[in-house]
Structure 1
């Protein structure tokens, strides 16, 4: 496990929906030491919401990178993060995976079942995002994405048989309270807190996730 917090200042980041995006992004960078980058944003025209990218068929309106070098711009510098959101206050908050964490993603129903199972087992999960697409994204140590297929095989599961995916290097998650078009905002199913400042290894959470996905089929 690894420390993803800067210490006592990392007291639980509360439900973020009403917080300004700038201050939330700063807390992620300063308190959790996560790299952060500003993404696209939503614009209103004629009473309709549109993605800043201008694509009418954008699959993630208001919640995706805005330029090819987005990963190189991601930073945990508070000054740089403040500058991003001062220039674009409504930009989504994107967190690159494969750096301080990977994520393991399952359907929301399976994710909630897995969280209940982990609680019974006495396992403290890392932060968990509830996406607008009905999925839960579990934060684990970097490298978890690469480990997952072998872990599933060792547990007797064929990876393709489960709706269990992962995000590692070169990918990202849209962090709460980023909005995705009219579908709502990402939320924390398990928010960052002092209790989960140490991220679990994939080996600790994959058994519960696989079990829940198997039950959810």
Structure 2
């Protein structure tokens, strides 16, 4: 498995130095073949950072879709991505789930426990993000949303008893180095590399994740 940083140190994983949001979005589309779309962004107002959506109570300032047709706007074309971020260089980088990948979202503490368990089991991981609101998103093959309701009960848990959320069709994740308000930037707990280009199926990770979520309750 690609080496990960366990514990709080993962919050300090260095991002690509000097790389702009535009360059990063283009790289995701070009190298990983991920669909990308520009979200909202942060604006300075009265010495504070606020979301470009204008909502003072925004739950994810600078890191959510800014238009209703975001799903149709998402593109896997590096050239189109370049044009979109040229128009708004500060826009967050959002990745629609349910296309090239789904994401299994768990709490940060459960995520670190699961990562340690997966390392011992020598499982092959896909990319994993760590968000400023203390969530970890494990990238898996599409279709996880359909499989999870059958998989979790087989492990002795009910789906509703675990803080384990599947992000599939109609949802998205914010990609590094997107910033979420004053909370900080999304980071990679497990970076995209050549060795994890092929994603695991939810069936390969669910045991470790369910166990970690159960311990974290």
Structure 2 regions of 5+ residues with no counterpart?
Answer: 1-13
- What is residue 171 of structure 1 aligned with on the other side? 171
RMSD: 1.1
Q: Is the 8 A contact 1:17 1:177 kept in 2?
A: no
Return the offset for 1:18. Answer: 4.5
Return the offset for 1:150. Answer: 1.0
Q: Is the 8 A contact 1:16 1:176 kept in 2?
A: no
- What is residue 64 of structure 2 aligned with on the other side? 64
Distance 1:81 1:155, change over 3 A: same
1:142 matched to 2:142: yes
Q: Per-residue CA shift, 1:186-205, capped at 9, x if unaligned?
A: 10000100111110000000
Return the offset for 1:17. Answer: 6.3
- What is residue 118 of structure 1 aligned with on the other side? 118
The within-5 A match list for 1:11-22 is: 15-16=15-16, 18-22=18-22
What SS does the corresponding residue of 2:194 show, helix, strand or coil?
Answer: coil
Instruction: Give the number of equivalent residue pairs.
Output: 204
Return the offset for 1:149. Answer: 1.7
Return the offset for 1:19. Answer: 2.1
Return the offset for 1:15. Answer: 2.6
Distance 1:17 1:39, change over 3 A: farther
So what's the TM-score if we normalise by structure 1? Answer: 0.92
- What is residue 3 of structure 2 aligned with on the other side? none
The within-5 A match list for 1:101-116 is: 101-116=101-116
Return the offset for 1:45. Answer: 1.4
- What is residue 93 of structure 2 aligned with on the other side? 93
What SS does the corresponding residue of 1:199 show, helix, strand or coil?
Answer: coil
Structure 1 regions of 5+ residues with no counterpart?
Answer: 1-13
What SS does the corresponding residue of 1:60 show, helix, strand or coil?
Answer: coil
Q: Which runs of 4+ in 1 moved over 3 A?
A: none
